[in-house]
Every structure is written in C-alpha cells, then in structure tokens.
Structure 1
Amino acid sequence: MQGHAHVASVDYTALDDHALVALVRSGEREAFRHIMQRCNQRLFRVARAVIGEDSEAEDVLQESYMRAYDKLDSFRGDSSLSTWLTTIVLNEARGRLRKRHTMVGLEQVDVAPDDTHQIIRFPSKFGSEDPAAFAARTQIRHLLEHAIDELPPGFRVVYMLREVEECSVEETASQLGIKPETVKTRLHRARRLLRSSLHDRLAGTMGEAFPFMGQRCARVTEAVMARLEAEATDA
C-alpha cells in the first residue's frame, strides 16, 4: 500500500466499493474510513455472533480492519467487498475462540434429532413508530438479542447472516465453509430454539400483560363514579 496522499473534495458516499478500494490503494486513507462505515454493522453482528460478547467483538472488528487494510491489494473483486471483509472477521473471531479452547463440536449438533415444533419467524425491519411504539420495539429487540446470545455459536452466526443480515443460503454457506443444506438445518433449529427460549421468557410475564394501574385505572374509575353520580342525581 502506498503512503497517504490527500485527495481534495472527494464525495466518498457517491463511490461504489471498488472505487473506494482503488482510492485506498492509491494512498487515500480517508476512503478506508468510509469502507468501515458501510460495513460496520454487518461485520460487528458477525463478530458478535461468533464471540458472544460486545467488547471482544469490537476488538475483533478492529483487528480485522487492520488486517484488511494491509491485505487490500489482494482483494480482486471476485466477491463483494463485504463478503471479503466478513471472511476476515470470521477468521479473526474463530482464531480467538480457538485460543480460548471454547470451540463447540458442531458436527454433533448438526446430527442432533430434529422435531416438528412450529417455527416462529421474526421480522427484521420495522416501520416508523411513535415514541411508545419505539420504546416497545427497543424492549423486543433486547429480548431477541438475549435469546440469540443463548444460541449455540454455529447456529447464532447462521441466524445472524440469514435472518438479520438477510444473506442468501449460498452466500452464508460460502462464508462459513459449510453446505447449503447445513445452513438450512442450522437456521431451522436456531428458529426453533429461539421460539422455545422466547416462550419461556414471556410465560413468566403473561400475568403482567395489559396492566390496569396508575392513571389508566384512576381515569376509568373516576369516569364511572361521575356517571353513577350523574344517574343518581337524575333519578
């Protein structure tokens, strides 16, 4: 990689990935900032899915970006830039797991008996909401994040790529080095495990649903009392 060279008045947001890569290769380091900004969310989600923890996932992302910057000359464009970067992130994250000796025997998980439980599908996009709906969506998001965290690592990363990042079966299989059928199986079981986990979490709060307390209770009570008083006066 050549040294940094200033390029004036470049509209980075208007450039595609290949143009940004070309700028970085020519020495325009600022272009790499925009590559990171475009890819950060997907790459963090992938690292988080493998590592299972926020701060180390951020470390993985930083190290991966450093490796990617040094290896950018090897990017040939045979795949998308995000796919190329995802591979680097996966390798870095898995390397850390190996060092911690916490790799899961996924070959045993993959041959585990299946069942016919109903599968619940979770929407990955939401529309515009008012503040109350936004707060509710935030609570649902946290609930899902905790449930996803509890998935086996191999299921978690497949779920993250397929359901959250909406990658195709083929792209997910290629990224993870597994067969498309394995992707489908792991996704099916991830959904099933999430359904079970969320059911258990929600069951304990069913009795708290539709609370009739506070201002709502007072408002209705006072309205009824006022009507009763009015009827008594008319009688």
Structure 2
Amino acid sequence: MPDRAATEAIAWSTLPDAELVALAQRGQRGAFRELMQRCNQRLFRVARAVVRDDAEAEDVVQEAYTHAFAALSTFRGESSLSTWLTRIVLNEANGRLRRRRPSVDIATFEATPQEDSRVVSFPNRFGNEDPAAAAARAQIRGLIEHAIDDLPDAFRIVFIMREVEGCSVDETATTLGVRPETVKTRLHRARRLLRGTLQDSLAATLGEAFPFLGPRCARMTEAVLARLAAATEATTGDRL
C-alpha cells in the first residue's frame, strides 16, 4: 500500500486550481504546496527575466509566495491564479530592480531604428553539428540564455512569457498592464534582435532555456513552507 504522504500527494495533484485555492484559503498547506509546484517554473522564469540571476530569482519567487499566502483571502478568481501570482512576482522583482539601478525609458528604445541591431555578436562556432548532441545543446542553450538576458528589460519579459512560457497575447498584456498591441510590438522587436544574434536553426531549443530542475522546485517549495510555519509559530507565541 502507498504511504500516507504519497496518497495525499496524489490527491492534491488531482484537484483543479480553484479547489486548491479554496483549500489553501482555509489553511491547507498541502494545497498551497501543490499550487506552488504547478506555478514554480513560470514564476521562476518570469522573475529571472527581470533580475537575470538564478539565485535572486529563487529569492524573488519565495518572497512573492509569502506575500501571496498572506493575501490569498483577497484572490477572487477574476484572473487565473498563475496570472495573479505572476503579477506579485513582477512587483517584487521590479521593486528590487528599481532599488538596484535606475530604469531605462523603453519608449526611447522602441522609437530608435534597430534594423541591424544585435544583442551580442556570437561567432558561428557550431557549423553543421548535430543539435541533438547533449554537449552541443548545452552550448546552444547557453548562447540563447545569454542573448535573452541581453534583451532590453521590457522586451525580455514579453519574450519569456510568450515564447518560453507560451502565454497568450492577452494573458501577457493583462499580466504586464500593457495593451495587446504593445505585447505584439515588443515580441516582434525581441525576435528581430535575437535573429541578429542567433541562427534560425537554434529556435528548436528555446523551450529548454532556463531549465527548471526538480531539486530547485523542491527547494523553493520547502523554503516557503518553512517561512510560513515560522511565521505561524511566531504569531501563536505572541498570543500566548
């Protein structure tokens, strides 16, 4: 017979987001754990698109989850849970970015002709090598990630959400608070910049960019749950 933990894990995984949210709002940590595991990859990728650092992106997501859990009672389902969480992650990530350096006026960049722009100049080192080879894929993925990192901030987040995470134009626009036409324009500019850097043959590896490995997912989830448990214990202690 499966142990109790395995049975509970299977039960959580069969529930839709709406039921999990309702259970999490009633204090069921297992439901919140399942929601985190479903959203971790997108939120990590979005956070990393802003801060451009793996470790800080993890910290951003953990902090955002803590805020989200505290405000879960305010979630009304007017947008999807992932969209709601993504906004919280973006607020946290952009807040850190503003504290770290002054922002760049994206309108100025968008108004500048960029027909021959390149993000970075990469030599054609791979020639006709088979992209299915593991070593080659790792090198290619590194080039892609580096090129994406060097996109202007507003273009990079749109590119990550649309091309890497597969979000729709409307969802991306709603999440970022911009018009759908702006999303389309920025994605077009991002693609054009990347084409100036990367060969078209690399496009098939985009889905592998910024891989979200199991250990990272588990580490982030457990860290958030530990923080919530500590906060609950502190609150309980204050009442005694």
TM over 0.5: yes
Equivalent residue, structure 2, for 1:103: 103
Distance 1:158 1:173 in 2: 9
Secondary structure of the 1:84 match is helix
Q: Determine if the alignment matches structure 1 residue 189 to structure 2 residue 189.
A: yes
Cα-Cα RMSD: 2.4
* Ranges in structure 1 where 5+ consecutive residues have no aligned partner: 1-6, 118-130, 203-235
Distance 1:164 1:104 in 2: 24
TM-score by length of 1: 0.71
Q: How many pairs were matched up?
A: 182
Q: Determine if the alignment matches structure 1 residue 169 to structure 2 residue 188.
A: no
- Distance change >3 Å, CA 52–CA 70, structure 1 → 2: same
Equivalent residue, structure 2, for 1:142: 142
Q: Per-residue CA shift, 1:87-141, capped at 9, x if unaligned?
A: 1001111111111133221121222225389xxxxxxxxxxxxx96344333322
Structure possessing the higher relative contact order (Cα contacts under 8 Å, 6 or more residues apart) = 2
Q: Per-residue CA shift, 1:179-207, capped at 9, x if unaligned?
A: 212111111111111122226xx9xxxxx
Q: Per-residue CA shift, 1:138-157, capped at 9, x if unaligned?
A: 33222211110111111100
Is the 2:116–2:196 Cα contact (8 Å) retained in structure 1?
A: no
Amino acid at match of 1:16: P
Deviation at 1:9, TM superposition (A): 5.0
Is the 2:51–2:57 Cα contact (8 Å) retained in structure 1?
A: yes
Distance 1:87 1:102 in 2: 21
Equivalent residue, structure 2, for 1:126: none
Equivalent residue, structure 1, for 2:37: 37
Is the 1:110–1:182 Cα contact (8 Å) retained in structure 2?
A: no
* Ranges in structure 2 where 5+ consecutive residues have no aligned partner: 118-130, 203-240
Which stretches of structure 1, 4 residues or longer, exceed 4 Å deviation after superposition?
Answer: none
Which has the larger Rg?
1
Is the 2:39–2:82 Cα contact (8 Å) retained in structure 1?
A: yes
Secondary structure of the 1:194 match is helix
Amino acid at match of 2:45: R
Equivalent residue, structure 1, for 2:89: 89
Amino acid at match of 2:96: R
Q: Per-residue CA shift, 1:45-68, capped at 9, x if unaligned?
A: 100001111111111101000000
Alignment map for 1:58-137 (pairs within 5 Å): 58-115=58-115, 133-137=133-137
Distance 2:197 2:145 in 1: 11
Distance 1:192 1:166 in 2: 18
Amino acid at match of 1:26: R
